[in-house]
Every structure is written in C-alpha cells, then in structure tokens.
Amino acid sequence: MPESKRLRIAIQKSGRLSIESMKLLKSCGVKFTVNEQRLIAHSDNMPIDLLRVRDDDIPGLVMDGVVDMGIIGENVLEEEQIERERLDKPSTCIKLRELDFGACRLSLAVPNEFNYEDAASLEGLRIATSYPNLLRRYMQRKGITYNDCMLKGSVEVAPRAGLSDAICDLVSTGATLEANGLYETEVIYQSKACIIQSSQPQEPAKQALIDKILSRINGVVRAKESKYILLHAPTETLEQIVALLPGAENPTVLPLNDDTNRVAIHAVSTEDLFWDTMEELTKLGASSILVMPIEKMMG
C-alpha cells in the first residue's frame, strides 16, 4: 500500500505512556515489532505505521495532519492547544476517547515549611512548571499574578535549588513531592491518556480503519473493566445474590445436577467484584464463586 494510504499513529517513544500505548494497539490486533533505534515501526498485518516520538510532539503532529492519530496525555494535549491558539496555529483535533492509563493530576505544590492558605498565597512569587499555559489559565481565572520559571524536567527540585518558591507539576502517588520536601496544595488539572484523531477529513478507507481501531479499543477497555462471575446459589436467596453482583444484567441461571435447592449463576459484571461483596455472597449461601478476567468484548 502507498505510504499516504497507511494510517499513521504517533505514540510516546519512551516514558510513562509507551508500554501501555503499545499494549493497547497490540490488543487491538495490530502486530508490529519495535526497533529501539528507529522512529517508525511498520505493522506486519495492517496498513498502519507507528511513529515513536517525544510525547510533547504528538498533539502538534496530529493537529498539523502529519499523522492521523495519536495517544497522548490530556495534560500535554490541552497545554499544546492553548499554546497554538495563542500563536494562531492549527489547534484542533478530535478526541476519540479517554483511555484507562496515564491517570495523574497537575498540581500546585510548595515546600513543607511554606504557610499556604489558598492560591493567593502565591501572589508575586515564582512558580516552576513545564505547563506554563495550563498554569497561566488557572491563575488568570483566580486573578493571581506570579512569575513563571519554565523547566522542561526536574521541576520538583526547583524550590530547593532556589529557582522558585513553588511548583506546578504532575502528581500521581505523591512520592516525588514527598521525597523533595514539598506538599500538594491545589489540583489545577486532572488528566488521563487519550486517543486523538486529526480533524482533517480522511479518505473513506482510512476513516474505516480508524473506526475499526476505535471500536476494538472500546472492546478492550470494556473487557478490562468487566469480570466473568460464576457461582452456585441457593434458590431462596437467588434474587438477593443477583442484586449484589455489581452491574450484572440478566445473568444466566442454570440448574445443578441432583440439586433442586441450588442453581448455577453465570454473569458478566461491569465492575470488579470486591472481597467485601464476595463475603456478603457467601453469607447468603453462595459457594464455588469464581471471578475471571475477560479478554475481549464486542456487541
């Protein structure tokens, strides 16, 4: 297939989103082998090329129509969108869906000894960040003026190095802040990874491939969020037991050999079954409870 007909998907080369992005595409049936030295990985079984780049470059590549799709953190997407609007550059793309990885938040944080009351405590101070646009938008809405200290990395060491009074950086577990004697004061943006498509019109064959990938992603994510549950239940508590299964619609109820007082239940639950619920189920007489992962779902 000619180069222009192949679907180009940009993913992070190496970092927090890389492994999950590749896993997601592989679970959608896209086969490829990555050569660490190479920017492009061609799929062996579908007309798809993967571009492995710095995550900061992904939104721009999609917005300029250089690639057709991208997997990126919403934080980076939004930051680039604001920047491009400011510079009058193409700033649109279609967010196809949020993904189930890369969850983090962009937060303000200050040194442990800082006496913080609210964002106004930062009036006139220096804030180090890699996200100047998201920070500016937040502070403008609050009417607070501050001084930017733009750092591409190691933002968490800026206060100790005397470069800033506070930081605005990504937080997940909070371990990085704690290790650097900082505490989180305000969340300014909640983020997850997402998959985006160029807003330029696609030719039908390419659009059909994008739709197919998206539909497979929906199936993969739904399957990950679901569980297949099997158990034996006394007929007299059947209704209560079914009511306890989270998000299970119309479970299959089957008779058991030589036992008229008990039935087997098969159900797909849209949530995980927690230990507390398992214990409630056994109190109602359920036995042989099995909770199994589902690999794929469709329809």
Contact positions toward ligand PRP, by CB under 6 A? Answer: 16, 153, 156, 169-176
* Minimum distance, C-beta of residue 130 to ligand PRP, in the bound complex (Å): 8
Residue 17 touches which member of ligand ATP, Mg ion, ligand PRP, none, C-beta under 5-8 Å by kind: ligand ATP
CB of 12 to Mg ion, least distance (A): 8
Residue 229's nearest CA partner among 205, 249, 200, 214 is 249
d(CA 61, CA 75): 16
With the CA atoms of 295, 27, 196 and 101 taken in that order, what torsion angle do they form, in degrees rounded to the nearest 10?
A: 60
- The residue among 68 and 80 lying less far from Mg ion, judged by its C-beta, is 80
Chain positions contacting Mg ion, by CB under 5 A: 55-56
What is the closest distance, in whole angstroms, from the C-beta atom of residue 54 to Mg ion in the complex? 5
Q: Is the dihedral of CA 227, 231, 235, 240 positive or negative?
A: negative
174 binds, among ligand ATP, ligand PRP, Mg ion, none (CB under 5 to 8 A by kind): ligand PRP
Tokens linked to 47: 């007309």
Residue closer to ligand ATP by CB (options 16, 126) is 16
Q: Which two tokens mark 23?
A: 């896993």
> Minimum Å distance from CB 77 to ligand ATP?
9
Question: Could you give the strand order of the β-sheet that contains 252-256, starting from the edge strand earlier in sequence?
Answer: 252-256, 259-269, 227-234, 287-293
Distance in angstroms (rounded) separating the CA atoms of residues 294 and 299: 14
Of the residues 27, 29, 34, 56, which one makes contact with ligand ATP according to CB under 6 A: 56
Angle between helices 18-27 and 204-225 (to 10 degrees): 100
Q: Which is nearer to Mg ion, 28 or 58 (CB)?
A: 58
Residue in the structure block whose two tokens are 């680039």: 80
Nearest alpha carbon to residue 230 among 271, 256, 262, 265: 265
Task: Give the total of residues touching ligand ATP (CB under 6 A).
Answer: 16
Shortest distance, position 107 Cβ to ligand PRP, whole Å: 9
User: Contact between 154 and ligand ATP (CB under 6 A)?
Assistant: no
Q: Judging by DSSP bridges, how do beta strands 7-12 and 69-73 pair with one another?
A: parallel
Q: Minimum Å distance from CB 149 to ligand PRP?
A: 15
- Rg, C-alpha atoms of the chain: 25
Paired sense of beta strands 48-53 and 147-150, if any: unpaired
| Structure-token pair, residue 250 | 């119309």
- The contact mask relative to ligand ATP for 68-87 (x = CB under 6 A, - = no) is -----x-xx-----------
Q: Which of 23, 26, 38, 54 binds ligand ATP (CB under 6 A)?
A: 54
Minimum CB distance to ligand ATP smaller for 55 or for 165: 55
User: Under rule CB under 6 A, which residues in 183-212 are in contact with ligand ATP?
Assistant: 191
Q: CB-wise, 106 or 139, nearer to ligand ATP?
A: 106
Nearer residue to ligand ATP within complex by CB, 105 or 222: 105
| Residue 182 exposure: Cα atoms within 13 Å on the Cβ side | 28
Q: What does 238 interact with, of ligand PRP, Mg ion, ligand ATP, none (CB < 5 to 8 A by kind)?
A: none
Judged by the rule CB under 6 A, the positions of this chain that interact with ligand ATP are 12, 15-17, 54-56, 73, 75-76, 102-104, 170, 172, 191
